[in-house]
Amino acid sequence: MKRIFFWTYRNTTYFKERDVNFLGTKQVAQLLGLKPGRINQALWDGRLQTPARGPGDSFYWAPEDIARCAKLFNVPWPPLAVAPPAEAPHPADA
């Protein structure tokens, strides 16, 4: 998916079209069921390879970066599809 970003600097507006297939650290943590602090600590300790950096020096997580993070924290990736629980038979029907 493409998204258009724009910003203004000295009364001139600039536009740039970018792919939006990347997630932020908070979104990755939520996706994997972790706290963002655990991921950040692993990044600063060197246990996890740093993903690409975007504007503002924030991390942009590509799918392969998310897979590496999931492997480090033993989280199944991609998430397994969970079937809804089967309905129990009503006691009157038994």
CATH number assigned to the domain comprising residue 65: 1.10.1660.10
- Distance (Å, rounded) from C-alpha 5 to C-alpha 20? 11
pLDDT in tens, 13-64: 665 665 556 788 998 898 888 999 999 999 999 999 999 887 778 888 888 8
With a threshold of 0.75, does the pTM exceed it?
no
- Distance (Å, rounded) from C-alpha 48 to C-alpha 31? 17
Supply the range of the domain harboring residue 26: 21-78
Burial 11-31 (b: 16+ CB within 10 A, else e): eeeeeeeeeeebbebeebbeb
Residue 86 in any domain: the answer is no
Burial 51-84 (b: 16+ CB within 10 A, else e): beeeeeeebbbeeebbeebbeebeeeeeeeeeee
Residue 93 in any domain: the answer is no
Residue 55 in any domain: the answer is yes
Number of domains in the chain: 1
Residue 4 in any domain: the answer is no
